[in-house]
Chains A and B, each alone.
Chain A
Amino acid sequence: MASSSQLSQSKIDPSVFQRLHPRAYLERFLSEGIRPDGRDPGAWRGVSVNVGSISTAEGSALVRVGDTTIVCGVKAEIAEPELDRPEHGFLVPNIDLPAMCSPRFKPGPPGEEAQVLSDRLNNVLISLEVLSTASLCIHPGKAVWVLYVDATCLNYDGNAFDATLLAMIAALKNTKLPMAKFNEETGRTTCSHSSSVPLDIRHLPLSASFGIFDSSHILADPASFEEPLLDAFITVILNEDGALNSIAQSGLATVGEKSSEEVVAGCVAEAKKRCADTRKCI
């Protein structure tokens, strides 16, 4: 616990201080070079991935990044393709943040956070061509696969984006689709019970997220206590060969004397190491 030499005369319980003055609480820790959960500012939480546990899904993954727990399932259905893209299937990702994962989320329809997360993940999976949608074609113009990638957060402790992207990638990698044949005469598709094929995955992008506190500290993998106190966020997405896929920055990324370009470059370098480590889990 940080030294409290500047504290007022009355003694205050640390957990009460955390609730009343969260910013000051975090500042005290960071001035000693440590975070409330004991990590260094640049340290990442442990990752564990478990695939294939959901029997009803074509592919599934359960991912834990620290205490943030995401379960993701892939279900496949057959549908008619769009008229202007007759040889392409569909990939439909979605993330749900139910009230059970954190007291922050109220019961009811999806809140802002879940919608923003779903949108960001959709952009990543589609624009980075994780999966070739042409490979989902069964018969051009008649039948294509639709892959629903549904993720649900079971416990939220910050940085849902990294955990969910990892869960979706791991679930897609685990997915096997039955062999499908389209019958021209009847207009129906039959699927084989016995043989199944893994997906044609082109890329395995993984992300690393950072937060900037008080324009003076860069915190890797923000936890749920730190998240509302951060001024800026940076997310770096890297490919399996270390190539940079995307950098997303919201807020001003200057830290102390460093310019925002230097900060982002530093984050990219850290992200390379983190993604290389995380990749070993999938």
Chain B
Amino acid sequence: MGSRIETLNAGGYRSDGRRQLELRDFIIDLPTVSSSNADGSAVVSHGLTTVMASVFGPREARLRSLTLHDRAVVNVEVGITPFSSGERRRRGRGDKYILELAAAIKATFEPVIQIHLYPRSQIDIYVQVLEQDGGMLQASINATTLALINAGVPMSDYVAAITCGVFSTQPLLDLTSLEESDVPHLTLAVMPKTGKVTLVTMETRLHVDRFEELVRLALLASKVLHAEMRTAIRAHTGELIRAMGGSRLSRVPDREDAPGDDDQDEAMADA
């Protein structure tokens, strides 16, 4: 009989030593040198889950027949490396799980990206999962947000995603793969400034009484993630400005309530 791991012990600690509502280490890596073919990219880690997102576009569509006359088409492709999970699993491009993930990401970002600015164009988002330890959709959405901003694609707001679950009656945030297989959980993607939710996915059975509390906690968590993302983007943009010789502007002012606070790299460069 193997030893079992407690999801949440009597002292309030989870199997990886975190408290109930504690998030994993959130590490953001934005490329300082534009060494890739992509227009924007970002590598995001939540604990041991690492995802890289690359954005190409807006660019000329590959097939004229797939374009729309009044807006850009958003394409999402997800790849999961075979060595990313505990058990090696080679998923083909047409794998249903991957297609579902891609469809979820596309549905999350289509209303947020200002696609009406780019008719007859295509915006390609490529997501590559390098390491999995729960929260794959969460990390993919966060990485995609940062890659889109890095590429200078205009959006209405950041999108921050988080997983949350319930262990008996106790809510948990940012679940690892062990916890995901153990407790009912859902993934929520939120636009932090307005609190509008762009995605909720839940595949396990959750009691309806618990749902409201989870959404409330997820909104709080998304604000925390949003703050981290903003800090990373500002630091990155500041470095770009310094590198372009604008040393007086290197300290990017932090105006929380400024209208049109889009953090676009190009916009800052023009300043």
Residues in A lying within 8 Å of B, measured CB to CB: 54-57, 60, 67, 69, 71, 73-75, 77, 94, 96, 98-103, 106-109, 148, 150, 152, 154-157
Contact = CB atoms under 8 A, between A and B. Distances in A.
A93 to B, nearest CB: 12
In which size bucket is the chain B interface?
Answer: 20 to 34
Given A56-B131, A109-B93, A100 B83 contact: no
A155 B35 CA distance: 8
B264 interface: no
B67 interface: no
Interface of B: 35-38, 48, 50, 52, 54, 56, 62, 75, 77, 79, 81-86, 88, 90, 92-93, 124, 126, 128, 130-133
Contacts of A157: 35, 37
Contact of A100 (B84, B126, B132): B126
Nearest to A104: B37
A73 B81 contact: yes
A74 B82 CA distance: 9
Nearest to B88: A75
Which DSSP category, helix, strand, loop or mixed, fits chain A's interface? mixed
A152 B36 contact: no
Given A55-B131, A156-B37, A75 B56 contact: no
Contacts of A60: 83
Interface centre among A57, A77, A94 (most CB of B within 10 A): A57
Given A75-B88, A107-B93, A148 B128 contact: no
Contacts of B75: 107
Contact of A155 (B36, B62, B83, B88): B36
Nearest to B124: A99
A89 B197 CA distance: 51
B81 A152 contact: yes
Given A56-B83, A150-B90, A155-B36, 17 more contacts: A54-B84, A55-B48, A56-B85, A56-B132, A69-B35, A77-B88, A96-B79, A98-B128, A99-B126, A100-B77, A103-B37, A107-B93, A108-B93, A148-B88, A150-B82, A150-B83, A156-B37
Contacts of B124: 99
B54 A54 contact: no
A98 B48 contact: no
Going nearest first, the 3 A-B pairs with the smallest beta carbon separation are A73-B83, A100-B126, A75-B88
